[in-house]
Amino acid sequence: MNSKIGGSIAIALLAIYVYLIVLGCMTVDCALAPVCARHPVAAFNDGMAQYLAELGGLVSALVIAELAITRPGETPAARVLAPHATDKARRRLRLVAIAYLVVWFFAGATAFVFGLGHPKILPPLTGVGQAWFGIAVAAAYAYLGVRPAEA
């Protein structure tokens, strides 16, 4: 039961994170258009910027922590399943875990690309994209078990 509640919270936080990234990208697009009043830069307020940064940190921390303790080739979060879990439960967990990682990856990559292309239009989006890039590299190293060679 606790893993279902924790998973639901993680998914809700990811959904809000994605929403704010999409809103930020729409704001950047609007700022680049000659005539656009739907998503002015001023409408992306300080609260949104703060939550975007906080959620980016929370969601990314969950991803890197989970990938750091998962062996390459294994399903992230598989340890939350009971030892006698059904194949259906294992498939469902695998699907949710992979979907979570894919959504996190594409949301962060989108923030990174928009921030890279137009860094001064919406600095909070640029900051989240840059932070995501560093965390994505660290997560890949953690998951793949890349370690320095011992002398």
The terminus-to-terminus CA distance of the chain in angstroms comes to 46
pLDDT of residue 148 exceeding 70, the answer is: no
Calculate the alpha carbon distances from 7 to 3, 31, 57, 141 in Å.
Answer: 6, 36, 17, 24
Amino acid at 98: I
Structure token pair of residue 100:
């979570």
Tell me which of 83 and 135 has the higher pLDDT. Answer: 135
pLDDT tens, position by position, 111-138: 999 999 999 999 999 999 999 999 999 8
pLDDT tens, position by position, 34-78: 888 899 999 999 999 999 999 999 999 888 888 888 877 777 877
CB 140: neighbour CB atoms within 10 A? Answer: 12
Residues in the chain: 151
